[in-house]
A and B are shown apart, each in its own frame.
Chain A
């Protein structure tokens, strides 16, 4: 465990934080790359996903994009971009790669969130005479909020991770501390860089969770829902509905595809209920 002590000492040395190649500068670089890329990716993916979800089209595209993204090595894309003429444009190839890998989780989660918005609530809203836009803003969007935020969280963590790899492909960011440490055979520096990167990824994940909870419109309207109001009602009603829905969905996939041929049908929401108490995509609805 000596190497952890050495790494800790490395982190506590002020000289390692100062200067052009110092950890402070790298951290700022990393945060800047992450912020720009996340904003760009959201600007591209969310409107598209919300529109597709509202229309109920393009499901195969939205869902499969995540799967395709998994098969393509991030490192390979970063290196490929670095060798194209784009590579001469400073951060452009890095940001482009980061956006590319952040789009799938955003798109898929937001799309599924829109589609999973309780159909009964949507129908009821239509029946109450809401227009397409009103249904979108008043019913579908609040119900999809949990999954949209889950997508943003995944994308943010993804970008932090990918931005680290950018250092391997000649980009900036905290990964540079690690690669520089490897080049100079400085194990304390390698481990210190790794701790910084891991800490940043975990911090992003940990900070976005309470943000999601605070902003969740379903939770907020449920609190206000004690007094019946036109806007609170559908949201509060469907919060339960969304849970029921998701509960089914976990087991529903058993029922409809795989295990349904096994001796008896899957019963109840037990499996879904229990596993989702970890940190599943149902979080937003459950709380």
Chain B
């Protein structure tokens, strides 16, 4: 009785809503995660060859970084609207748009990571008979991994948050619930969807931090690691994407250096410091 009345009374927190609409919530969450993850994956797929191209032909750096910065500046609603005539009202609009944003962050972090690989290390590998491909796969990419992962975390968290804007084309995951809730003034639905969005973003970030730790075990051995890890933990609530490597220290606000283990991400441009919000 009392449970039913919370829906009728349009309360913000409503257990009955969770029970009666659980399927709807699960579907929206699954769509949300699918869109966010596939956009980051697509961004990564394009960013990797792009970063390698830029590294090979330095002349490309200006145009590529400039173009991605311009793309990053375009607000999400406008970007989706521009992609709409190309893809129609489909999830492809949202995935492509978010992939373009991810691309910007990933290319920059990847380049920063690769640039930070010490020349001596490269020389040593070459001296040991490593060819270009093996050098890239076994030496350079692993060393650039912390910077790349920092970028992946930022891109993922931004994508999870921006997927909501996909509601404009009807493919916004939890954003669709927000949009519908706004029209029908449905408080419980809006609050639940909002909280789920934040939970998804934080969960994704923590999971990626775990992946990063697993992939880069060498960052935890040796002496600087414990201190670094402690600093990272002390960082944000649930280790926000890119906690302070050094509070007030290096890198500036644009650093995508993730808390603790983050590395090599110092010279990431300031654009990434803005939460990509619109």
Contact = CB atoms under 8 A, between A and B. Distances in A.
B191 interface: yes
Contacts of A248: 250
A75 B270 contact: no
Q: How many interface residues does chain B have, given as a range?
A: 35 or more
Contacts of A158: 274-275, 277-278
Interface in A259-287: 259-267, 270-272, 274-276, 278-283
A189 to B, nearest CB: 10
Interface string A49-72: 000010010011001101111111
B253 A83 contact: no
A243 interface: no
Interface string A170-185: 1000010011011000
A266 B147 CA distance: 14
Given A101-B275, A194-B79, A253 B74 contact: no
A148 to B, nearest CB: 11
A263 B122 CA distance: 10
Q: Which of A53, A178, A250, A263 has the largest number of chain B CB atoms within 10 A?
A: A250
B186 to A, nearest CB: 8
B222 interface: yes
Given A187-B85, A281-B253, A267 B146 contact: no
A193 B78 contact: yes
Contacts of A150: 253, 270, 273
Contact of A76 (B116, B197, B263): B197
Contact of A59 (B66, B175, B197, B247): B247
B121 interface: yes
B264 A254 contact: yes
B146 A276 contact: no
Contacts of A29: none
Interface string A67-85: 1111111111101101100
Which 7 pairs across A and B sit closest by C-beta, in order of nearness?
A: A258-B263, A161-B278, A249-B250, A250-B266, A67-B240, A59-B247, A115-B248
Interface of A: 3, 53, 56, 59-60, 63-64, 66-77, 79-80, 82-83, 101, 104-105, 108-109, 111-112, 115-116, 147, 150-151, 153-155, 157-158, 160-165, 167-170, 175, 178-179, 181-182, 187, 190-191, 193-195, 197-198, 201-202, 205, 246, 248-254, 256-267, 270-272, 274-276, 278-283
Interface of B: 61-62, 65-66, 69-70, 73-79, 81-82, 84-85, 108, 111-112, 115-116, 118-121, 124, 143, 146, 154, 157-158, 160-162, 164-165, 167-168, 175, 178-179, 181-182, 185, 187, 190-191, 193-194, 197-198, 201-202, 205, 216, 218-219, 221-222, 224-225, 228, 234-237, 240-255, 257, 260-271, 273-278
